Structure formats: C-alpha cells, structure tokens
C-alpha cells in the first residue's frame, strides 16, 4: 500500500467547490452538511425520509450549541452556517448545479447502488461525487459514466470535531478531483489522508475493527466486562496513543522488545466468525447503543441528545489539550 498523504503538493490554489449536496440526513449526513456549511459552502441536504430531515435540524442546532459552548466557533458564525443549509426532498433539486455530491446513506451495498443510479440520472459530468463509505468498494456499484468523477472521502464521527478524512480514488477517478477535494478539506482545517487506491477500511477503521474484535472476544470468553476494557483503554492505551501515535510508541518501547513479543507468539487473534454472542444478546434485548438508551452501558432517562453533547464537549477538551501539546518533537 502506498500513501500519498502528507506529501509535498503544488502550491495551494483557490478551491472551486462552492455548492455541495449531501445525500442522506442521518447520523453522518446531517453532521457533514454542517461541516461543509461551516466551511463556507452552500449545502443541499437530501433525504427521502421527512422524519430524518426534521430531526437533522435539531441535531445540527444541538451540534452548533456545543461548538459555541466549547468556544470553537462564534454564535454568529454558526447562525450563518445553518442558513446555508437547505433541506431537500427531491434528488434532482439537491444535485442540480452541485460542485460536490457527498453520499452518506446507510452502509449497505444495495442501497448505495440504487442511490448512485439515481444520482447518475441528474448529475452534471463536472460534479465530483464523494462516498463516505466505511468499508464498501463503491466503485463496483457505480453505473457506467460515473467512475471518472467518483472518489471516496470517508469521515469519522463526529466530523465537526474529528479531523481525519480518508480520501481514496477508484481505478478510473480523475486525479484532479482528488486534489480538489484535498484542497477543500485542508481549507476547512481538516486532516485529509490521501491513498493512491482503495484499501478497504483505510487505516483507522482497520485498527478499530481489530480492537472491536478483541474487546468482544474478551467479553465473550468471560475474561472481563465492558467497564474493565474501557478502564484499561482510558488509563493505559489512550493517553500514550493520543500523544505518541502507535508506531512512535513502538519506538519508545524498543523494537527489540516488540520483536521478542512477536516471536513468543503469546497473542493469538480471535477467530473470525462474523458474529459475537455478546452483541447478539444485547441487540436482541433492544440494547442497541446510545440511541436506544442502553448498549454495553445503561443510560437511564438521559436523552441521546444530552449524551452526544456530553461526548462532544469531552472530545473537544481532549482535542484542545492535544493541540496544545503540539506535533513537533525535539
């Protein structure tokens, strides 16, 4: 795998992306609409579900309140950003004259394939299409004619706080489109990482998947509970990884020690079964996560909106602390 991220590009030029259509107003869609609006773009937010569009207004307003409370943005700035977001229930209207279309529908191949087919009916040939897929090879789902203008721009939730954006072209993607999107997101203050081809799961999602697999395996085997795992991560791994990253942490550990640990074969990764008894039990009981009021933890009568706000404020405090530490080493 070859990464182009962080390489020396040509002198930055003014970005030509001014109008954005976000397809899907769910968990990521509403937040991506806000990100692009804060960045100064006019945004058409489209969804077929009127309830999703209605809720997106509340979620966007709640996110704005959090960003103001944390001192990240001024209230007037976010009021102007919200005014640049228009809700649409017709795809043809949403994508008309769009410079960039952001696909943020549910992570199902059949749904995305249908959405791309519909986009193909209305899209301008000069419009860039960016899929927010986490794992799917969306380039296999495209109708004829869309391959050149389509790429992946994968965000992490909540995207108005987390800066990493994985950008990957397909086999036929116009390289100028990749560069155009990179410039846009750097101007937003984000951290785009450019891949020279699609690596399913990118880097962060692959690492996260490995951690998910091991954490669930530990619980499935009865070795520990969810709270024990989180205790170990927050008081052991997280602080070091936030400051060092993982490969630099390896350097501080000493590569000979890492080699010895590998040679000992003391760790065996869990078998890939495609499911976890722990997850199945929780989901069958209706404990699907924060939105349902319970998951690995019980959240009582606290609303999802309150929980997300508390999460965001904590993340913003940590992000500020990491920024104060800085990237440069002696």
- Sorted by where each begins, the domain ranges of the chain are 19-194, 204-324
- Categorize the per-residue pLDDT at 8 as very low, low, confident or very high, splitting at 50, 70 and 90: very low
Element (H, E) at 45: strand 42-46
> What percent of the chain shows pLDDT beyond 90?
88
The arrangement of secondary structure in 19-194, i.e. its CATH architecture, is 3-Layer(aba) Sandwich (3.40)
Predicted local distance difference test score (pLDDT) of residue 75: 96
pLDDT band, residue 5 (cuts 50/70/90) = very low
Query: Given a cut of 90, is residue 103 above it in pLDDT?
Result: yes
Strands 85-88, 100-103: parallel, antiparallel or unpaired by DSSP? unpaired
Right CATH for 204-324 from 1.10.1040.10, 3.60.20.10, 2.40.290.10, 3.30.530.20 = 1.10.1040.10
Task: Using alpha carbons, select from 211, 210, 217 the residue that is nearest to residue 278.
Answer: 217
Helix residue ranges per DSSP H, the chain: 29-38, 50-69, 75-83, 91-95, 109-122, 175-187, 204-220, 226-232, 238-244, 247-253, 255-264, 277-284, 304-325
Q: How many CB atoms lie within 10 A of CB 82?
A: 17
- Stronger pLDDT, 278 or 14, i.e. the higher one: 278
Instruction: State the pLDDT at residue 7.
Output: 39
The answer to whether 47 and 94 have CB atoms below 8 angstroms apart is: no
State residue 3's pLDDT score: 52
pTM of the model: 0.90
- Residue 273, pLDDT above cutoff 60: yes
């Amino acid at each position: 795998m070859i990464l182009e991220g962080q390489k020396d590009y040509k002198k930055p030029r003014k970005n030509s992306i001014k109008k954005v259509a976000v397809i899907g107003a769910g968990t990521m869609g509403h937040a991506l609409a806000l990100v692009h609006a804060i960045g100064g773009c006019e945004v058409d937010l489209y969804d077929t579900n009127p309830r999703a569009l209605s809720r997106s207004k509340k979620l966007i307003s709640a996110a704005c309140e959090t960003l103001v409370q944390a001192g990240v943005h001024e209230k007037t700035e976010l009021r102007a950003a919200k005014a640049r977001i228009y809700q649409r229930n017709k795809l043809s209207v949403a994508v008309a004259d769009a410079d960039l279309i952001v696909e943020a529908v549910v992570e199902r191949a059949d749904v995305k394939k249908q959405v791309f087919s519909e986009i193909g009916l209305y899209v301008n040939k000069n419009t860039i299409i960016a899929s927010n897929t986490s794992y799917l090879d969306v380039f296999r789902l495209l109708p004829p004619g869309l391959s050149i203008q389509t790429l992946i721009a994968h965000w992490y939730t909540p995207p108005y706080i987390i800066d990493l954006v994985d950008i990957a072209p397909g086999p036929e993607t116009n390289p100028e489109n990749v560069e155009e999107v990179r410039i846009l997101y750097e101007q937003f203050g984000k951290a785009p990482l450019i891949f020279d081809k699609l690596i399913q799961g990118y880097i962060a999602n692959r690492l996260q998947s490995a951690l998910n697999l091991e954490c669930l395996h530990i619980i499935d085997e009865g070795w520990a509970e969810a709270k024990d795992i989180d205790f170990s991560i927050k008081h052991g791994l997280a602080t070091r990884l936030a400051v060092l990253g993982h490969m630099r942490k390896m350097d501080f550990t000493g590569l000979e020690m890492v080699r010895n640990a590998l040679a000992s074969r003391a760790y065996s990764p869990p078998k890939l079964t495609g499911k976890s008894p722990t997850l199945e039990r929780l989901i069958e009981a209706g404990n699907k996560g924060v939105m349902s009021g319970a998951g690995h933890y019980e959240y009582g009568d606290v609303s999802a909106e309150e929980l997300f706000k508390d999460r965001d404020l904590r993340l913003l405090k940590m992000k500020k602390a990491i920024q104060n530490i800085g990237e440069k080493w002696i």
